[in-house]
């Protein structure tokens, strides 16, 4: 029965509302049917009394032959008539028709008898009182009796079916209204969830408009306040790192000037290399921090064309990079950030292997980029550690290859900001495979 209980909040609210409304309908149905049946029977009995009274007034002055001629014309499916000289004993007295007996006796000013018609048993229980046939015996002035055969009430089988169809229609309407109401109630929650996902990908996403119930408006206000604090935190961190970078670069400039006074050429060259490495680390650190605060708007980018361009650039610089994949693959992303992430991964492949291979795949609305090299690979227990900022592995990933240890950190940060991720795996026979995935809905 668990499949009947929806996983979503809107579905659960709709089910609860629908079941509650249907339960109320079902609980009140017996009382409603009883009331309607009593009212309908009162109307039916009243019309039957009047019709019998008019027929008696018509029959009294007629001869027996004329009466028999009129019987077929005055009979109907609901009221048949016969003339007898005395009541038959086959019928038994209907004890539950006292009200109808009193009404007829009062209207006709004579004593009438109402008996239940004996019918052959059908083998099925008679659950509807309206299906019981009764015989109304009315004495005439010439001592003959006029028997009227009818039902004890309205033929209710069709009426019950009609009411059941109406109830079913009402239940269907209630279910539809419950679904619509549930979706309206949970719409601010869906907006809230979408905004939280946007914030996870972009700290500069626009705030959520406050709408919905008092509790949801309060939650939205708190969420917007949290987002504003995150934005200020990232901006303050970026400004702080920019100030530190400026001050350190001033000191580096002075150190470069002082290296000119080092008489030993070898020591001077080593000092200059250390200063260049420090300057590169400062630039990378500042760029890494600015990536989190970047407000670059996402646009549609041909990922295949971008990969072609990067492969050509690395080949022009002496690298060996092959591309395999479709000629076009449009995704919505921040182009500069995506180019930097791909360039960092491909640069690692070129630096640590003799040849690199870039493969682009499209599956289920997603894009997957695989960058493989034929280098020494990475120890299994270090596959996650290399994503930490400034983490470098020796001896395979050493400073002789350049870089600051931020390439993979930046790549993962960029991909995750787009709803994707970066993973690593070693190849059989040597080499490393870097897999960059863009999550569902990013591919267009």
What's the CATH fold of domain 2-118+128-158? Beta-Lactamase (3.30.450)
More confident residue, 109 or 303: 303
Share of the chain above pLDDT 70, in %: 77
C-alpha 332/C-alpha 300 separation (Å) is: 4
pLDDT digits (tens, 9 = 90+) for 264-288: 888 888 888 888 878 877 776 666 6
pLDDT at position 123 over 70: no
User: Domain 202-295 belongs to what architecture?
Assistant: Orthogonal Bundle (1.10)
Residue 1 has pLDDT above 70, yes or no: no
pLDDT tens per residue, range 94-109: 445 666 777 777 777 7
Per-residue pLDDT, 127: 43
- Rounded distance, CA 93 to CA 136, Å? 10
pLDDT of residue 234: 76
Edge-to-edge strands, sheet with 366-373: 321-324, 356-363, 366-373, 432-438, 421-426
Give the Å distances, CA to CA, from 177 to 3, 170, 247.
22, 10, 65
Res 429 pLDDT > 70: yes
Mean pLDDT (whole number) for 69-88:
75
- Highest average pLDDT, of 21-25, 41-45, 365-369, 436-440, comes from 365-369
The number of angstroms, rounded, from the C-alpha of 166 to the middle of its chain's C-alpha atoms is 30
pLDDT at 403: 56
| CATH 3.30.1490.20 is right for the domain spanning 299-438 | no
| Beta-ladder partners of 81 | 148
What is the mean pLDDT of the segment spanning 399-426? 78
220 pLDDT band (50/70/90 cuts)?
A: confident
Q: What are 213's two structure tokens?
A: 């119930």
Q: Which H or E element spans position 145?
A: strand 145-151
Confidence of residue 395 (pLDDT cuts 50, 70, 90): very low
The pLDDT of 7-27, averaged and rounded, is 77
Give the side-chain half-sphere CA count within 13 A for 71: 16
Q: How far is CA 350 from CA 176, 301, 310, 319, in A?
A: 60, 24, 12, 6
For the stretch 192-211, pLDDT in tens is: 788 887 777 677 778 888 87
Kindly state the helix (H) or strand (E) to which residue 113 belongs, with its residue range. strand 113-116
pLDDT at residue number 155: 47
Angle between helical axes of 9-59 and 98-108 (0-180°, round to 10): 40
Average pLDDT of the segment spanning 138-165: 71
Please give the pLDDT value at position 307. 93
Q: What's the pLDDT at 413? A: 84
Question: 315 or 81, which is more confident?
Answer: 315
In the structure, what pLDDT confidence band is assigned to residue 73 with cuts at 50, 70 and 90? confident
Report pLDDT for 443. 43
Instruction: Show the tokens assigned to 169.
Output: 């229609």
Measured distance CA(117)–CA(115) in Å, rounded: 6
The mean per-residue pLDDT over the stretch 82-88 comes to 70
Could you write out the DSSP letters of every residue in 257-282?
A: HHHTT---HHHHHHHHHHHHHHHHHH
Domain ranges in the chain are: 2-118+128-158, 202-295, 299-438
What is the residue-averaged pLDDT of the chain? 77
- Beta-ladder partners of 146: 83, 138
Check pLDDT > 70 for residue 38.
no
């Amino acid at each position: 029965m668990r499949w009947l209980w929806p996983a979503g909040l809107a579905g659960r609210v709709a089910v609860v509302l629908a079941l509650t409304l249907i339960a109320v309908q079902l609980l009140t149905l017996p009382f409603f049917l009883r009331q309607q049946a009593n009212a309908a029977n009162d109307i039916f009995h009243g019309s039957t009394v009047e019709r019998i009274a008019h027929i008696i007034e018509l029959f009294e002055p007629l001869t027996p032959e004329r009466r028999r001629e009129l019987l077929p014309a005055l009979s109907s499916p609901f009221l048949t008539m016969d003339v007898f000289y005395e009541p038959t004993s086959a019928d038994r007295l209907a004890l539950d028709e006292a009200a109808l007996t009193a009404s007829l006796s009062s209207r006709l000013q004579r004593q009438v008898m109402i008996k239940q018609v004996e019918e052959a048993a059908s083998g099925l229980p008679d659950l509807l009182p309206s299906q019981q046939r009764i015989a109304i015996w009315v004495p005439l002035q010439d001592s003959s009796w006029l028997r009227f055969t009818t039902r004890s009430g309205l033929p209710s089988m069709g009426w019950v079916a009609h009411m059941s169809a109406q109830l079913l229609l009402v239940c269907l309407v209630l279910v539809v209204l419950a679904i619509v109401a549930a979706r309206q109630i949970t719409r601010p929650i869906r907006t809230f969830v979408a905004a939280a996902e946007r914030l996870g990908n972009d700290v500069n996403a626009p705030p959520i408009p406050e709408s919905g119930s008092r509790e949801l408006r309060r939650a939205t206000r708190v969420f917007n306040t949290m987002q504003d604090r995150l934005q200020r935190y990232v901006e303050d961190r970026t400004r702080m790192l920019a100030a530190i970078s400026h001050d350190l670069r001033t000191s580096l400039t002075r150190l470069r000037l002082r290296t000119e006074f080092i008489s030993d050429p070898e020591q001077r060259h080593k000092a200059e290399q250390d200063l260049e490495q420090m300057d590169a680390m400062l630039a990378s650190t500042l760029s890494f921090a600015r990536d989190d605060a970047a407000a670059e708007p996402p646009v549609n980018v041909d990922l295949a064309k971008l990969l072609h361009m990067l492969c050509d650039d690395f080949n022009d610089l002496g690298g060996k990079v092959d591309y395999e994949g479709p000629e076009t693959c449009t995704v919505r992303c921040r182009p500069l950030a995506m180019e930097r992430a791909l360039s960092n991964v491909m640069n690692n492949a070129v630096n640590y292997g003799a040849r690199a291979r870039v493969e682009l795949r499209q599956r289920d609305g997603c894009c997957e980029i695989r960058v493989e090299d034929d280098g020494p690979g990475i120890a299994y227990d270090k596959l996650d550690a290399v994503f930490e900022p400034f983490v470098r592995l020796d001896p395979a990933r050493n400073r002789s290859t350049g870089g600051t240890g931020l390439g993979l950190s930046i790549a993962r940060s960029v991909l995750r900001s787009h709803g994707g991720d970066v993973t690593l795996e070693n190849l059989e026979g040597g080499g490393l495979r870097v897999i960059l995935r863009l999550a569902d809905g990013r591919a267009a």
